[in-house]
Structure 1
Amino acid sequence: MAPAGLAGRESRRGARRRPTWPTARPHVPPPGSARDLRVGHACPPRRLHGFIPFSGAPAPLYKPLQPPVTNRLLTHTPRTKPSSQSNKPARNTHRYPPSSSNRARATPFLPCSLALRAMAPATADAAGAAVGGRVKTALGVAACERDAEKLELIEQLTKGFDDEQQRVLAAILARNNGAEYLRRHGMEGCTDRDAFKARVPVVTYEDLRPEIERIANGDRSNIISSHPISEFLTSSGTSAGERKLMPTIEDELDRRQMLYSLLMPVMNLFVPGLDKGKGLYFLFIKSETKTPGGLPARPVLTSYYKSDHFKYRPFDAYQVYTSPTAAILCTDSFQSMYSQMLCGLLVRTEVLRVGAVFASGLLRAIRFLQLHWKELARDIETGTLSAKVAEPSIRAAVAEVLEPNPELAAFVAAECGKDNWEGIITRMWPNTRYLDVIVTGAMAQYIPTLKFYSGGLPMACTMYASSECYFGLNLRPMCDPSEVSYTIMPNMGYFELMPHDPETPAAAVSRDDPPPRLVDLADAEVGKEYELVITTYAGLCRYRVGDILQVTAFHNAAPQFRFVRRKNVLLSIDSDKTDEAELQAAVERAARLLAPYGASIVEYTSEADATTIPGHYVVYWELMLKGCREALWPEAAVFERCCLEMEEALNSVYRQGRNGDAIGPLEIRVVRGGTFEEVMDYAISRGASINQYKAPRCVSFGPIIELLNSRVLSKHFSPACPKYGPPKK
């Protein structure tokens, strides 16, 4: 049944039909958003776990009558762009992830037996009997035969999980046979899994830095991959505070698109009728640069939004979105957010789901509405777009849907003018079924705030992905955020697990160390924690991603994981990740400003404060003055400079987030003397060993935060944004 308000709108024959966006407009993910993705949202950003409200329109994955190919990648034909002769707008082309149905191609991620099965129409034998237009499958009753094919594909992949993993590894080794890295480790001409494990070391980013820098500087030889590196996807900061550059290849977009195409068939099992309305997703691109060798270096979602996969996606009733592509691709965050919010308000009764890549991004949108609702209401009332939005492509796109609507403007003003913003999402968009955001990992801190603003709407976590690789999806996307588990898809890459002890984490591994004992995913044990290790088509071999996962169950033979945390990360607000070493260096740098006053830092800790929008870092300092010279206690301006100095010392991802209003100003809270002794006493009273106790560098436990806040003498915020420029590499 159509949501309230839709049927009535369709019956008003006299109403002017809204124009829709042109077909050749780019699209969005996340890469869900991935979320990023995040992915996991949209993902994220950072790890895009639980992320992504994207799934492209299901499309044929293989060319008809493609002959079988063993242990090698199938080739594909270029994506066909829309003809320039057709300038007519196509209805409802705001979609999330693009589908690949507008080009015939074979894709490199399935064995031929599954390829042939994917091409065949769903039947009672293959996918179950049809029931009233719906089709029974092992995962549930599919909305249509097309969905049934996708769900059957998930079943086939997860039933033959280890066989598929072995095939994928052999395919990766075969296609990269000429790569220098594999030759160096004695793998030339070898596709054997046991030999691979015995000869190829487990590595971190620092181990691969020399190879990556050669590629970034313009070396086009087959260093890690026999296929050309097409671009670098930027990930979180290195020990030097700059971004990681993750190499990728052209056909990686095909693999990612294939995973996107599975998301909506799964979601349709739990939320029917999504083809009767639209999705309001707040999606943005970030700055990019080129390496010295001329390759693009940009976040994974920026890469996706700018790709032909996004720009030339075909129409899909399940993937209709409110945001113009021009707004998504605008680098000015204000113009982008303003136009996306305005377009979402114009069709408020048609919106069935609201989302962003990360939970923090959706809260930022709510904060934007709080600050700018008067301007938005004025634009709706007059049918004219604010002069603050100057980008011609955005103005042209918004002009297609904006017309005077005094009634809607009065409603927006009345609702947003109230002091109580509880449930504002469902008040503004009354037919919203769920929120599509990443709320696992570091994003879990935003769940209470999202519940407040949404009136308790369910939060869907759909996908787990990262800059290095896309991993899998959530087969129960509407479950409680605390119960989210991701099913790894064995065709996305070759995966191994490094056992992880939460009490005594393993030491860092370098290429000079003997290979640690790794576990195949098929041999994972329920309840245990592991660090994920990946081998990708782009040439990463046995690479430690840094994600700590806990096995929760198995779907057929495929393990399901709960995302526990990023390894060694203390603080995270958006796509930033700050570890202990980086925080320590920032504190030491700021402490130098206290020296002229005879002051020094006795102890410190920190927290990621998600109660503000946007969230921000809070650092607690306990100070000591030499000679008790209270008269020389630093002035407030000194502490403010300390805040900015700390921000200048943090990584480029953090600094970009600050400049883009994704992260609030860093705050220093000075606590009275003896506070950290009280914290220690509290910890010991709860069973901590006095001999082994050390002050935590990050706190999240409520009683300790309350204790710290009760001892605060003064609070200080960074007075400006730290310097930020896109990385040179």
Structure 2
Amino acid sequence: MSNSSCITHKDDDIISWFEEVAENAAYVQTQTLRRIIELNFGVEYLRKWLGDIKIQHMDPNALESLYTSLVPLVSHTDLEPFIQRIVDGDSSPLLIQEPITTLSLSSGTTDGRPKYVPFTKHSAQATLEVFRLAAAYRSRVFPIRTGGRILEFIYSSKQFKTKGGLTAGTATTHYYASEEFKIKQKTTKSFTCSPYEVISAGDYNQSTYCHLLLGLVFSDQVEFVTSTFAFSLVQAFTAFEELWEEICKDIKEGSLSPKITSSKVRKAVLDSFSLNPSLALRIEEKCKELKGVEWMCVIPRLWPNAKYVYSIMTGSMQPYLKKLRHYAGDLPLISADYGATEGWIGVNVDPSSPPEKATFTVVPTFSYFEFIPLYRHKEDTEMEDDFIEAEPVPLSQVKVGKEYEVVLTTFTGLYRYRLGDVVEVAGFFRGTPKLNFICRRKLILTINIDKNTEKDLQLAVEHGSQFLSQAKAELIDFTSHANVTNQPGHYVIYLEIKGDVDETLLAKCCHKIDESFVDYGYKVSRKSHSIGPLELCIVEKGTFNKILDCFIANGAAMSQFKMPRCTTNQVLIRILDRCTVKRVRSTAYG
């Protein structure tokens, strides 16, 4: 096997292992549950529900039935009293037998406040396993050279100590600080362009500048371009449009911009390269050409050996795909794997599928999975949610084409934990399901009987923003708010647009968004005027960067940031209203 080959024995080994556990997913799941309970038997939370039941010689299927009949389904709120005791320093076995020394923070962009989740060595090992498995499947379709590099826009945030002395931070931060990440850097076929000092700089603007600089220094070696979320990639290349001249100057002179103020970062970056006037000239010439075509195909033009772009591109990241394709040209966009702060769920074993059709194959060894069947009701307007639930089913009993909410029992102390994600079963990979991510269940626009999900909002905005092309304008980003300050309440949609759009076209856009909400309750309420006309607010350039800055300033990590598509956060609403430059109201249903 040649040095440039992408397929290794390690790739074959991990794929063979996965295909075997996928084939026997139902059995593997009962064994996974047994192992979780055995490892954590006697902890306060499980003792509360299971008592002193002897499980040592119990049949795995009987244990599964007993567990699901006695232990209740819970949300994070139900576990908060236990987690808060851990945060405050209670070291007794509350959720797991293993001492918890590290806590992960969720992004907090869904419901406005971050949540603590236990992070253990198992968490980092599972992350490494996901990366290895996904990389093995990608290598089958998109071969990369051994010894190449990855242009990786990844960001570590600051860790801090809780009242009880535990280390807290984002899951990505913990992973980047772990031995598992160092192993990945040393043992994988490609490694990141940026040293750890850049990843952990704590200032995403400085990190992004250095990622771009070193990515260009090693441009001929870059095998693929990646970040945790598609949003981060779009942010990085949007920034590059403004930074390229300064970056070229640094490459030409072997210097580093004074905007990089961290001495550790400066030393690490300057130690990584030396002046290269000929490379700087080549980049300058290409950038001048790219500027004339609105930076179309910037990635393949500047990184000619890149095979693909890799990132989470589903759910709230889908609105960034159009801009990302603009930057990526014909390079394949591959959607990264499916996980949450609470745990990993599935891998993308079909990397050749476009992001809009990406599925995620559940890894049955990561957690014990259950799925709550969900049935959408079309005209029942009295329900508090837009779903009717049935009893949870195990992984092996889900049905293709049906929608479910994901439930996790993890090695890290979450028992029958409702993740809040709605998925559709797209099919099976051997014996384990392949999932389409649909939406976050609770993230909805609602005023009274109307129930619109994030996906509903996204589709409505897509329909309305089609009018922008008539003015050669481009949608940069959007969010929304259900305004109930005055009656009747109404939806407010905030758009940031690149280009000039006249009032007539904005009115058409607003009207189209309003009529594109398909929820029955919304349509009835609009026709009866119990919900007022939709309000479209156009915000000034840079508004959504201000929202990002606001989250970062309050402790959010760039690597986990997701723009909230629907917000009740008054700080964000004040930013949006202060930056609004045009307002129009819909005439739909008028």
For the aligned pair, the TM-score class normalised by the smaller chain equals: 0.7 to 0.9
| Cα drift, residue 189 of structure 1 | 4.1
Matched, 1:363 2:237: no
Cα distance in 2, alignment partners of residues 239 and 284 from structure 1: 20
State the match for 2:30 in structure 1. Answer: 166
In the alignment, which residue of structure 1 is the partner of 2:85?
Answer: 214
Choose which of 392, 395, 407 in structure 2 pairs with 1:533: 407
The 5 A counterparts of 1:573-722 are 615-617=477-479, 682=515, 692-694=524-526, 722=550
Among candidates 539, 554, 564, match of residue 725 of structure 1: 554
Give distance in 2, aligned partners of 1:201 and 1:389.
Answer: 51
Residue 175 of structure 1 aligns with an amino acid whose one-letter code is L
Q: Summarize the Cα distance change of 1:240–1:419 in structure 2 as closer, same or farther, 3 Å threshold.
A: closer
> Structure 2: how far apart are the matches of 1:133 and 1:187?
58
Tell me by how many angstroms 1:317 deviates: 5.5
- Residue pair 1:424, 1:454 contacting (<8 A) in 2 also: yes
Q: Supply the distance in 2 between the matched residues of 1:503 and 1:194 (Cα, whole angstroms).
A: 30
Does 2:341 align with 1:440? no
Which consecutive residues of structure 1, in runs of 5 or more, have no partner in the other structure? 1-131, 135-140, 509-514, 571-578, 585-604, 626-642, 648-662, 696-704
Structure 1 residues 507, 219: closer, same or farther in 2, change over 3 A?
farther
The answer to whether structure 1 residue 144 and structure 2 residue 15 are counterparts is: no
How far is the alpha carbon of 1:392 from its aligned partner?
A: 2.6
- Gaps of at least 5 residues in structure 2 are 56-62, 451-458, 528-532, 557-590
* Cα distance in structure 1, aligned partners of 2:79 and 2:132: 32
CA drift at 1:680: 10
Q: How does 1:362-401 map to 2 (within 5 A)?
A: 362-401=233-272
Matched, 1:302 2:131: no
Match of 1:155 in 2: 19
Of 311, 316, 332, 1:458 maps to 332
1:416 to 2:287 alignment: yes
Partner SS state of residue 155, structure 1? helix
Q: Which moved more, 1:302-311 or 1:187-196?
A: 187-196
Return the offset for 1:606: 9.7
Report deviation, 1:567. Answer: 1.2
2:560: which partner in 1? Answer: none
Q: CA deviation at 1:414?
A: 2.5
- 1:426: how far off? 1.1
Separation in 1, partners of 2:400, 2:442: 23
Indicate if the aligned counterparts of 1:495 and 1:533 stay in contact, CA closer than 8 A: yes
Q: Would the aligned equivalents of 1:680 and 1:693 in 2 still touch at CA under 8 Å?
A: no
Residue 227 (1) aligns with residue 227 (2): no
User: What residue number does 2:437 align with?
Assistant: 563
Of 454-463 and 153-162, more deviation after overlay is shown by: 454-463
Contact 2:460/2:513 (8 A) holds in 1: no
1:367, distance to aligned residue in structure 2 (A): 1.4
What per-residue deviation string (whole Å, max 9, x for no partner) do you get for residues 201-253 of structure 1?
00111111211111111111111112212221111439973211112323332
SS in 2 for 1:251: helix
- C-alpha distance in 1 between matches for 2:206 and 2:514: 51
Name the % identity.
27
**For residues 413 and 678 of structure 1, do their structure 2 counterparts lie closer, same or farther at Cα, with a shift above 3 Å needed?**
closer
Rounded to whole Å, the distance in 1 between the matches of 2:261 and 2:514 is: 58
Deviation at 1:363, TM superposition (A): 0.7
Does structure 1 residue 177 correspond to structure 2 residue 41? Answer: yes
Partner of 2:395: 521
Alpha-carbon distance between aligned partners in 2 of 1:681 and 1:303, rounded to the nearest angstrom:
43
C-alpha change, 1:518 and 1:445, in structure 2 (3 Å) is same
Name the SS of the counterpart of 2:101 in structure 1. strand
Cα distance in 1 for partners of 2:27, 2:392 equals 18
**Amino acid paired to 2:126:** R
Q: CA deviation at 1:387?
A: 2.3
CA distance, structure 2, for counterparts of residue 687 and residue 401 of structure 1 = 55
Change (3 A) 1:690 1:159: closer
Q: CA RMSD in A?
A: 4.0
Does structure 1 conserve the Cα–Cα contact (< 8 Å) formed by 2:105 and 2:115? yes
* Residues 1:226 and 1:545: Cα distance change in structure 2 (over 3 Å): same
Determine if contact 1:675/1:708 at 8 Å carries over to the other structure: no
Distance 1:224 1:381, change over 3 A: same
The aligned counterpart of 2:342 is 468
State the secondary structure of the residue aligned to 1:366.
helix
Higher relative contact order (CA closer than 8 Å, sequence separation 6+)? 1
The question of whether the paired residues in 1 share the 8 Å contact of 2:219 and 2:302 is answered with yes
Structure 2 partner of 1:285: 156
Q: How far has the Cα of 1:615 moved from its partner?
A: 3.3
SS in 1 for 2:186: coil
Please identify the structure whose Cα radius of gyration is greater: 1
The 8 Å contact of residues 471 and 488 in structure 1, kept in 2 or not, is answered as yes
How many Å separate the matches in 1 of 2:116 and 2:413? 13
Partner of 1:78: none
In the alignment, is the contact (CA less than 8 A) between 2:6 and 2:145 conserved in 1? no
Distance 1:170-1:507 versus aligned 2 partners, 3 A rule: farther
8 Å contact kept, 2:347–2:361: yes
Structure 1 counterpart of 2:203: 332
* Residues 57-114 of structure 1: per-residue CA shift (max 9 Å, x gap): xxxxxxxxxxxxxxxxxxxxxxxxxxxxxxxxxxxxxxxxxxxxxxxxxxxxxxxxxx
In the alignment, what sits opposite 1:492? 366
Q: Per the alignment, do residues 221 and 580 of structure 1 end up closer, same or farther by CA in structure 2, a change over 3 Å counting?
A: farther
Tell me the SS of whatever aligns to 1:297: strand
Aligned counterparts of 1:239 and 1:144: Cα–Cα separation in 2? 40
* Code of the aligned partner of 2:196: T
User: Residue 186 of structure 1 aligns with which residue?
Assistant: 50
393-402 or 337-346: bigger deviation: 393-402
Inter-CA distance 501–158: structure 2 relative to 1 (3 Å threshold) = same
Shift of 1:408: 1.8
When normalised by structure 1's length, the TM-score is 0.62
Task: Rate the CA distance shift 1:540–1:238 in 2: closer, same or farther, 3 A.
Answer: farther
Q: How many residues align?
A: 504
Residue 562 of structure 1 aligns to which amino acid in structure 2? N
Aligned partner of 1:267 in structure 2 is 138
Per-residue CA deviation, residues 402-428 of structure 1 (Å, 9 max, x unaligned), is: 222222222222232333211111111
CA distance in 1, matches of 2:352, 2:230: 16
1:446-473 Cα shifts (integer Å, max 9, x gaps): 1111111111311112421111011121
Report the Cα distance in structure 2 between the residues aligned to 1:196 and 1:172, rounded to whole angstroms: 11
- Among residues 311, 336, 341, which one is paired with 2:182 in the alignment? 311
- Whichever residue aligns with residue 408 of structure 1, its letter is L
Alpha-carbon distance in 1 for matches of 2:508, 2:7: 59
Q: Is the 8 A contact 1:569 1:580 kept in 2?
A: no
| Secondary structure of the corresponding residue to residue 491 of structure 1 | coil
Report deviation, 1:375. Answer: 0.9
Q: Give, in angstroms, the shift of residue 527 of structure 1.
A: 0.4
Higher helix share: 2
Q: Which amino acid is the alignment partner of residue 479 of structure 2?
A: Y
Structure 2 partner of 1:632:
none
Closer, same or farther: CA 429–722 of 1 in aligned 2, 3 Å = closer
Mapping for residues 46-65 of structure 1, pairs under 5 Å: none
- Are the counterparts in 2 of residues 461 and 484 from structure 1 also a CA contact under 8 Å? yes
> Quick one: structure 1 residues 542 and 516, their matched pair in 2 at CA, closer, same or farther if it must change by over 3 Å?
farther
Aligned with residue 250 of structure 1, among 92, 107, 121:
121
Partners of 2:131 and 2:308 in 1: CA distance: 19
| Most deviating of 169-178 and 237-246 | 237-246
Secondary structure class of the residue paired with 1:568: coil
Say whether the 8 Å CA contact 1:607–1:618 is kept in structure 2: no
1:708: Cα distance to partner? 6.5
CA distance in 2, matches of 1:363, 1:231: 31
Q: For residues 356 and 691 of structure 1, what CA distance do their matches in structure 2 show?
A: 39
Is the Cα–Cα contact under 8 Å of residues 353 and 432 in structure 1 kept in the other structure?
A: yes
Compute the TM-score of the two structures, normalised by the length of structure 2.
0.76
Structure 2 CA distance for partners of 1:693 and 1:180, relative to 1, 3 Å: same
